[in-house]
Amino acid sequence: MNFAFSEEQEELRRTVRQFLESKSPSGEVRRLMDTTEGYDPAVWKQMGQELGLQGLHIPEEYGGQGYTFIELGIVLEEMGRVLLCAPYFASVVLAGNAILNAGTDAQKQALLPGIASGDTIAALAFTEPSGKWGADGITLTAKESGGAWTIDGEKMFVIDGHNADLLVVVARTQGTSGTDGISFFTVRGDAEGVTRTPLSTMDQTRKQSRVEFSGVAAEPLGTPGEGWPALSKTLDQAAVALSNEMVGGAQFVLDQSVEYAKVRVQFGRPIGSFQAIKHKCADMLLEVESGKSAAYYAAWAAAEDNDELPVVASLAKAYISEAYFHATAENIQIHGGIGFTWEHDAHLYFKRAKSSEIFLGDATYHRELLAQRIGI
């Protein structure tokens, strides 16, 4: 048993942290969150060409570096720490894993090298206006005629949908329900019949779009109708990845709270000397550390691709969603009035936390999933 990162992994963390501290300071986050695209193409290019981050966990045979979910988790944790504005989660985590899980070898050969280098930005279009995260939320239909497929319907909350060169779309074949008939397709982002509308997101640091499909010619990814296992796995992996990203943000706001509690003086003493504040910080530490344990363990299970993955994915997403939100809320409270201003970054983390909590299913949703998965 060994629950520690290797020296190489720690080195990766240091490198990524240094890069992100220089490329994604608060001022940059605020500049980018006011743009429609919401990311800096030059930084994105550097991430791919200089650090190879987009291809980190993609196997070497598909143009990646062949590392694991543990390294991916480290990178995401660092990105969450600085609220990096980039289509990384959409392209690498959601679309990249969907292709890895659903695609044929030839499709992986064709699609993944572009994602791995960062030259292609991909997005996964699966949630619909109903906002359901399970199989029954998929109603966008796929029809086959003479060996050619067309898709019709509407997708919502598509992260970086309007930035994507490549859309991975989850649809269902006609006349199916539940987990039957779930199918993956790929479509160029600017294909005919695709209408993309950027949305006003509560968390401005992560962009979303509505994507409408009207008689769009689509290429099946894997075998149509048999996509559920790949989608379910993609969502579990995404929950693990998001959990790792969230603990990065949670640690950041804890540090911010503790730092402030040491220097802010009221009644002639630093407010951190009052138990009311000290105990809040202690509870935050307990939750952040526990969240890290869960996130790292889940990343290991994803790296091993073992049977534990569905259980630990839901367990981690449920616990960390609440821990992160709690930490960001306490951070505002500890900062007092200054924490409520637009100028202070506390609200950016608060909004990212709530948005991440809801995305991929909130804590209640994942506890029910967990109950089913452990046989309750």
Partner 1 sequence: MDFRDTPSEAAFRDEVRGWFSEHLVGDFAALGGRGGPADEEGWDVRIEWERLLGADRWVGMSWPAEYGGRALDYAQQVIFNEEYARANAPGRISFFGEGLFAPTLIQFGTDEQKRRFLPKIQSVEELWCQGFSEPNAGSDLANVQTRAVLDGDEWVINGQKVWTTLAHRADWCFVVTRTDPESKSHHGLSYLLVPMHQPGIEVRPLRQMTGSAEFNEVFFTDARTARENVLGPVGEGWKVAMATLGFERGTAFLSQQLGFQRELTDLIEVAQKNGATADPVVRDKLAGHYAGVQIMKYNGMRMLTNLLHTGVLGPESSIGKLYWTNWHRSLGETAMDVLGTDALLVEHEGDGDYHLDDLHQTFMASRAETIYAGSSEIQRNIIGERVLGLPREPR
Choose, by CB under 8 A, the member of 124, 167, 242, 315 that binds partner 1.
315
Task: Work out how close the CB of 313 gets to partner 1 at its nearest, in angstroms, rounded to a whole number.
Answer: 11
Among residues 23, 30, 143, 278, the one that binds partner 1 under rule CB under 8 A:
278
Residues 283-302 that bind partner 1 (CB under 8 A): 283, 285-286, 289-290, 292-294, 296-297, 300
Cβ atoms of 373 and 314 within 8 Å: the answer is yes
Provide the mask over 68-107, with x wherever binding to partner 1 is found by CB under 8 A and - wherever it is not.
Answer: --x-------------------------------------
Please report, as residue ranges, which positions from 156 to 215 form the binding site for partner 1 (by CB under 8 A): none
State the nearest-atom distance from the C-beta of 88 to partner 1, in Å: 22
Strands 194-198 and 265-266: unpaired
The Cα diameter of the chain in Å comes to: 80
In 199-341, the DSSP E strands lie at 208-221, 265-266, 269-270
For partner 1, which stretch binds (CB under 8 A), given 83-91, 209-217, 226-234, 273-281? 273-281
> Residues touching partner 1: how many (CB under 8 A)?
44
Q: Among residues 14, 31, 45, 269, which is the contact residue for partner 1, using CB under 8 A? A: 269
Helices 41-49 and 7-23 sit at what angle, rounded to 10 degrees?
160
Q: Euclidean distance between the first and final Cα of the chain, in Å?
A: 29
Q: Output 43 or 271, the one with its CB closest to partner 1.
A: 271
Taking the least distance from each CB to partner 1, the nearer of 282 and 338 is: 282
What is the distance between the alpha carbons of residues 122 and 24, in angstroms, rounded to a whole number?
22
Token pair recorded at residue 351: 């909004």
Report the nearest approach of partner 1 to the CB of residue 249 (Å). Answer: 18
* CA–CA separation, 277 and 279 (whole Å): 5
Instruction: State which residue, 109 or 306, has the beta carbon closest to partner 1.
Output: 306
State how far the Cα of 54 lies from the Cα of 65, in Å rounded to an integer.
9
Tokens of 112: 């993944």
The helix (run of H) or strand (run of E) holding residue 271 is: none
Strands 166-173 and 141-145: parallel
Q: Is 312 in the site for partner 1 (CB under 8 A)?
A: yes
Footprint of partner 1 (CB under 8 A):
1-6, 9, 70, 258, 261-262, 269-270, 272-275, 277-279, 281-283, 285-286, 289-290, 292-294, 296-297, 300, 312, 315, 318-319, 364, 367-368, 370-371, 374, 376
